[in-house]
Amino acid sequence: MSDLLRVENLAVHIGGLVAIADASFVVPAGQVVSLIGPNGAGKTTAFNVITGYMRPTKGRILFDGAEITGLAPDRIAERGIVRSFQRTSVFTGCTVLENALMALHRRGSAGLLGALFRLPSARREEARLREEAWAMLEFVGLAERADTLAEVLAYGEQRRLGIALAAIAGPRLLLLDEPAAGLNPSETAACMALIRQLRDRGATILLVEHDMPMVMQISDGIVVLNQGRIIASGAPAEIRANPEVIRAYLGSGDWQEAAHAAA
Amino acid sequence: MNTRLRNAAPWLFPLALALVPLVFPDPYLLAVLTSAGIFIIGAISLNLLLGYTGQLSLGHVAFFGLGAYTSALASLGFDIGIGFGLRITLQPQPVWLGFIAAIIVAGGFGWLLGRLAFRVRGAYFVIITICFAQVLRMVALNWIELTQGPMALISIPPFSLWLPGQGVVPLYSKAQNYWLVLGVAVLAFIVVRQLVESRIGRALVALRANESLARSVGIRVTHYLIIAAVVSAGIAGAAGSLFAHYVRIVDPDVFLFIYTVTMVIMVITGGKGTLWGPVVGGLIFGLIPDLLRGRAAPEAQWVLYGVAMILFVMFLPRGIVPALASLKSRA
């Protein structure tokens, strides 16, 4: 199986702080890989570096064999890596349908002339984008909310829209930053189902998540970061049994609870 | 029938405006409406930047002034030395050519300013745009060989247009100029509408709503900001050209900060980021000063102007058009 994403000897220093000391991991195509670790372990930093929002101090990032280290976020998105955000995950002031259309940007190509003169090609594209937007809203179960302003949605729906926006952009690699944060159990279950569906549609997924039962159930592989270093990586069962991982999480009761729950 | 009526409704407004010179052939009224119209075109162009991309350009008058000077100079012709014993000479050109040159030159500077200024956003962008307008004013004041400096460019020919059955005729009458400005305003409105109701417009609004999310779905920030800046500057340049050939005198005061402020007020009170906002705001703030003339002393006028502005910002912070829209949807 080929590795869609390779992170090689990544280091990120922010001022004097070492956010990531030395991290190497791979995300194989077609899998769901979770990046876990205690708060401050460097998970979100890793996301920011992979998607171009931060520059690494050292190391390389390879996507499908090509180096993408240090490219701008929109360039990285053009190559097929799209992320969701922890907090501000939707376009506020716009309806759900408009949100979907905005996220479909990369699937269109109409330019200035097409827009000004409503060229037939631009019109056909517009109709196609609308169809795709509706299909995606149906898929994530937000079609009946199409005309609602994004910020008016219930919290769980907003999170789902956030994931949908990242997925709709047609990424080959989808990075989800704590998609289940703040969701109740049934919403978390729906979120998991959505992630599985997205994988089945062909996306590779890299996930940062604190909800351990979810991580254990959904992941094909897990990478554990602690204090800027990778202390373990492997299948969920291996991670669960890894003494170093348990030590890193010691004191955070929810981990053990989670391990039991998932076992 | 109902939907057909609704589709026709937006056209009724310019149609009614087009009938004004026939129903009320009062030259003073037409003069007031024409100059308000020129500023409304400026406000429509500013709205594209301020309303849809959320970038506050406080030097917008620079493009207006550039358009005015370009068009005036093209139609007057010039002969200047640029050093090294070289001279640039331009014979007087037809006014329509000056109009097109105004759009191109202003749009070109819009591109340049966009390239430079969108690297820095927020307060720094605002400062750069203010400086840009001030620098142009200094150039206009001091490059006397080209611009006549404070002596102003005078005897600018009026706009001339090809009219069916009459050939190319200069537009001297108030009504003709009124129709010209109305026509350009409708065109500017349509250009902005086509743009914002397209994939490009969605990209602009996405940038305003959530820039990091917009970038993460692959929207190229600078690319779209520059498109908006160029189109916006080009339309402002067209307004400047209309101004030059209507007033027929251009001096460095076309770069005054107060004109930018007037346009910003029009956009904000009308409703930034709405198509009709700059039109509504422009009509109100373009007409109030003239309606009050003769009834209130100029000092009292400015005070009223200021109070009205503060009231608008306090009670209708999103502007008149969005407020009316939400009233309508509630009813």
Give the best residue of B118, B192, B200, B213 to mutate against chain A (max A CB count within 10 A): B213
**Is B220 in the A-facing interface, judged by CB distances under 8 Å?**
yes
Look at residues B252, B251, B281, B287 and name the one whose alpha carbon lies nearest to residue B266. B281
**Is B199 in the A-facing interface, judged by CB distances under 8 Å?**
yes
Look at residues B129, B63, B123, B114 and name the one whose alpha carbon lies nearest to residue B222. B114
Lowest mean pLDDT among A42-51, B34-43, B222-231, B313-322: B313-322
Please give the torsion angle defined by the CA atoms of residues A14, A19, A24 and A26, in that order, rounded to the nearest 10 degrees. -100
> Do A68 and A62 contact (CB within 8 A), yes or no?
yes
pLDDT of residue B70: 95
Contact A91 B195 (CB under 8 A): no
Mean pLDDT to the nearest integer, B204-210? 91
Look at residues B62, B14, B60 and name the one whose alpha carbon lies nearest to residue B184. B14
The residue behind tokens 């922890």 is A86
pLDDT of residue A57: 92
Enumerate residues 6+ apart whose C-beta is below 8 A from A151: A90, A92, A93, A158
Q: Pairing between strand B160-163 and B167-170?
A: antiparallel
pLDDT digits (tens, 9 = 90+) for A170-185: 789 999 998 888 888 8
The domain segmentation of chain A, as residue ranges, is 3-90+169-262, 93-152
Q: Which of A51, A92, A111 sits opposite B216 (nearest CB)?
A: A51
Vertex B72: Cα angle to B76 and B188 (nearest 5)? 145
The domain segmentation of chain B, as residue ranges, is 26-265
Q: Which of A53, A82, A118 sits opposite B212 (nearest CB)?
A: A53
What is the layout of strands, in order, in the sheet containing A81-83?
A66-67, A58-63, A3-14, A17-28, A229-234, A221-226, A32-36, A204-208, A173-177, A81-83
Q: Pairing between strand A3-14 and A173-177?
A: unpaired
Instruction: Reply yes or no on whether the pLDDT at A92 is more than 70.
Output: yes
Looking at domain A3-90+169-262, its CATH superfamily turns out to be P-loop containing nucleotide triphosphate hydrolases (3.40.50.300)
Question: What is the number of other CB atoms lying within 10 angstroms of the CB of residue A53?
Answer: 18
What would the two tokens of residue B263 be?
């346009």
Look at residues A255, A168, A157, A155 and name the one whose alpha carbon lies nearest to residue A215. A255
pLDDT digits (tens, 9 = 90+) for A128-167: 999 999 998 998 888 999 999 998 998 888 888 998 888 8
Instruction: Reply yes or no on whether the pLDDT at A254 is more than 70.
Output: no
DSSP state, residue B149: G
Q: Which of B198, B202, B209 sits opposite A122 (nearest CB)?
A: B198
- Give B37 or A113, the one with higher predicted confidence: B37
DSSP state, residue B296: B
The residue behind tokens 């000004």 is A116
> Do B233 and B109 contact (CB within 8 A), yes or no?
yes
Q: Which of A77, A108, A116 sits opposite B194 (nearest CB)?
A: A116
What would the two tokens of residue A174 be?
């989808």
Question: What is the number of other CB atoms lying within 10 angstroms of the CB of residue A87?
Answer: 8
**Is A132 in the B-facing interface, judged by CB distances under 8 Å?**
no
Mean pLDDT to the nearest integer, B6-32? 84
Contact B203 A102 (CB under 8 A): yes
> Do B76 and B244 contact (CB within 8 A), yes or no?
no
Instruction: Reply yes or no on whether the pLDDT at A261 is more than 70.
Output: no
What would the two tokens of residue B86 be?
């070289």
Look at residues B214, B252, B246 and name the one whose alpha carbon lies nearest to residue B36. B246
pLDDT digits (tens, 9 = 90+) for B130-186: 999 999 999 999 998 888 888 888 888 888 877 777 777 788 888 889 999 999 999
How many angstroms separate the CA of residue B207 from the nearest CA in chain A? 9
Instruction: Reply yes or no on whether the pLDDT at B67 is more than 90.
Output: yes
> Do B17 and B182 contact (CB within 8 A), yes or no?
yes
Instruction: Quote the CA–CA distance of B143 and B140 in Å, as a whole number.
Output: 6
User: A115: which chain B residues are within 8 Å (Cβ-Cβ)?
Assistant: 194-195, 198-201
pLDDT digits (tens, 9 = 90+) for B260-286: 988 998 999 899 899 999 999 999 888
Mean pLDDT to the nearest integer, B289-309? 77
Instruction: Reply yes or no on whether the pLDDT at B214 is more than 60.
Output: yes
Average pLDDT, chain B: 87
Contact A106 B227 (CB under 8 A): no
